[in-house]
Structure 1
């Protein structure tokens, strides 16, 4: 009996021997695509191979991290820049039947390039041309396609209503497909939660090429793709989301203080109050390597960003009561519409036209970067902060975002959606290092590991939590072509905490052969 149990555990926990493997067949794949789309929506104009003169530009325009930009990758068979749902369906069916993996890319904000790299033969399914948006003001809802950017969504909402918004991120070139499926963190989090808390339906292409939506989607799959990442389960075509109410007047400010101005004391106080202030107020603190007043010297400056759903007068009263150490002045505050705050968060000067929200990338990536994440549940002591400053000063360009939690996030259960990082967090951290010289890569990656190690005593533990949308290969990964369940448990527990087991069960139901897999995908639990 022990031997039988051991075999079962081996199958369940050691590895997923990806079933029904087919030897990659490129010619059959390409012919399959043409055959399936010839009569209604020909795919020729959406298909790019290495023979196309526009292949490289198609590849790099939605590649954000220069560390992973490799348009000459011989493993990359083709890019399918889908223009119709049938192109997505055909790509899935033809890739599966010919033993070819797919990588799904919408906006390209992929910190580790997992949507456009692989060590085995693969196709990029690029969703940027599937970008329709429909707003229903009377129902306070919208349908937004996977390739539509947040900038396009926010613009469309603002044209339809001055008092509606969507609880999404602050970067307008993020596309809805990946941003929402990974959680969708933004500056309305304390008032309205995150993006997935407002998803009520979706359209998704499953492993058999079928489109699931509404009743056919299933509550379990809808739960999983709200925070579990869509690429493990299928291809997200579009989301149906609820919009949220915002006042006509929203107030923002950005002020900064340096180490020489006593910012460590201010930031320590920020930790105590930023998750406790009224939920209409979102406060971000951003420690950053900056030039000191002494020529050639560096220091740490902490930039404090705020967005308040209300007037400057009310905001000043809240700040004077809760964080007078910041020394906020009324002239630091700017009242504006919600749509104009999107330009503020992009660091554009106040009054900049919101037409920039519609800008899309076209140039190759200009910089290399590395990001990591953490969750903080207890205030970091001042001596700990001072250790962090010393390590940060070894970087040339580096910042750490401290994003306030609290508000409604303390009231939403961890298993309400697949996104688990809810109650008990003071703030979420994003570490971000940027460089332009390829020769500086090893040094910057080493420094990121160093500062991550320095932070270990001050952040969540058992497991040390991580945010899925800030992909970090260091927290665990699998090879492109195989899925080891024990390894998946490592990154799965950090991204999904107690929700990981349920995610594997949903995966087994909708993709039992584990076709939708990549370096940090969710594996199926094998039925015995």
Structure 2
């Protein structure tokens, strides 16, 4: 018997993963065909690693470069369904072939959960970016939105037919509806209208058995889970029926910055007692970052108070002078605009730009890490000063304080899978980006 040379053995090892991948692809494609997916459709929605478009599709919705390295586990297959029947077949075929199915909509999950699996666990990505239809009905104040649609596309669609409707969701326009609503969804109208999931009325899903179910068919327990409980753990959400909310024709925004030299510690301390108790129309986010004082060259902390007020600037000034005079807000700090312009403003676009920018799915991916906490007791001034010192020492981390209260405190903790309701003053997000 002829012996296998070391070089031949090495070549065999190198080719083995490719042959296994080819086998996985062929088996999966054969299964899709058996579930009545035409071959000409299969060729346009299923991508194996040897497909020239595989890497582009994989990376196009990776928002965190921590999970775009050579060492990051890659999927065996990516499927990009065009129709609900494609999703049904993908669920059944991943089940029949014993492969883990990862559901990706916008890819904004901070730790790559929608497109990375544990080392050694073979997986398939089902990417919903083609499923992006939006159907609005302002007579009933409702909409059906497919999971692959972005928040920007939803906001754009709403504004194209109404100046007095909106939806309470995030500020980042490239986040997709599937992951956002599937895990809660918070934004700058949460004190008025709660989370995104507090405004979900129905859903269409594909369950583990490949059935398309609505709220009535799936039952209240499963509906409860897919509306805020990490939907991809229970089903593939095809679309959500949401409640549109009413917004005034004129809203007001402002951004006021204070450094330590401008009494920032005292102002932040006071913010903790005001932001969750003030008028429900007012949301004042607080950004905290280490920086350098340009005049002295010394390290300092910059605090940015960024607001959306559902009303005009005159009423806003009345509320601020009554509840938060310590900030020193002036009328000239306030900008009146339409709700959709405030969406642009909060997404860091020029509010006078065309709303077409909300349709751009391009996102500058970066290395990042995010974690969150919930505060039920205000941080003392000594505690704040300790935080400032550590931030200036490290130089990089940023904090985002999002106030709760209002509608958030009225919804029972068990009403949705998101339990952080009454008693929480604000949410802290710790953020770190690097090159």
Normalised TM-score (structure 2): 0.91
Match for residue 402 of structure 2?
A: 403
Q: Please report the RMSD computed on the Cα atoms of aligned residues, expressed in angstroms.
A: 1.7
Match for residue 335 of structure 1?
A: 336
**C-alpha separation in 2, matches of 1:82 and 1:415:** 34
Q: How far 1:71 sits from its partner (Å)?
A: 6.9
Deviations 1:332-381 (A, max 9, x none): 101111011011112233423222111112x7x54200000000011100
SS in 1 for 2:276: coil
- Where does the alignment leave 5 or more consecutive residues of structure 1 unmatched? 1-23, 437-528
Match for residue 428 of structure 2?
A: 429
Alignment check: 8 A CA contact 2:37 2:86 kept: no
Q: Greater relative contact order: 1 or 2 (C-alpha under 8 angstroms, separation 6 or more)?
A: 1
Match for residue 86 of structure 1?
A: 85
Match for residue 200 of structure 1?
A: 201
SS in 1 for 2:265: helix
- Where does the alignment leave 5 or more consecutive residues of structure 2 unmatched? 1-22
Q: How far 1:418 sits from its partner (Å)?
A: 1.4
Match for residue 211 of structure 2?
A: 210
Q: What pairs with 1:150-229 in structure 2 (closer than 5 Å)?
A: 150-229=151-230
**C-alpha separation in 2, matches of 1:59 and 1:98:** 21
Distance 1:71 1:198, change over 3 A: farther
Q: How far 1:424 sits from its partner (Å)?
A: 0.5
Match for residue 276 of structure 1?
A: 277
Distance 1:317 1:93, change over 3 A: same
Q: How far 1:244 sits from its partner (Å)?
A: 0.6
Q: How far 1:27 sits from its partner (Å)?
A: 3.5
Alignment check: 8 A CA contact 2:29 2:42 kept: no
SS in 2 for 1:139: coil
Deviations 1:370-415 (A, max 9, x none): 0000000111001101111111123444321100111111111111
State the structure with more CA Rg. Answer: 2
Q: How far 1:180 sits from its partner (Å)?
A: 0.5
Deviations 1:258-285 (A, max 9, x none): 0111100000000011111110111111
139-148 or 296-305, larger mean C-alpha shift: 296-305
Q: What pairs with 1:431-470 in structure 2 (closer than 5 Å)?
A: 431-436=430-435
Alignment check: 8 A CA contact 2:92 2:210 kept: yes
Match for residue 390 of structure 1?
A: 389
SS in 1 for 2:393: coil
SS in 2 for 1:284: strand
Q: How far 1:25 sits from its partner (Å)?
A: 4.8
SS in 1 for 2:402: strand
Deviations 1:443-498 (A, max 9, x none): xxxxxxxxxxxxxxxxxxxxxxxxxxxxxxxxxxxxxxxxxxxxxxxxxxxxxxxx
Alignment check: 8 A CA contact 2:288 2:301 kept: yes
Alignment check: 8 A CA contact 2:134 2:157 kept: yes
How many pairs align? 411
Q: What pairs with 1:124-135 in structure 2 (closer than 5 Å)?
A: 124-135=125-136
**C-alpha separation in 1, matches of 2:144 and 2:365:** 33
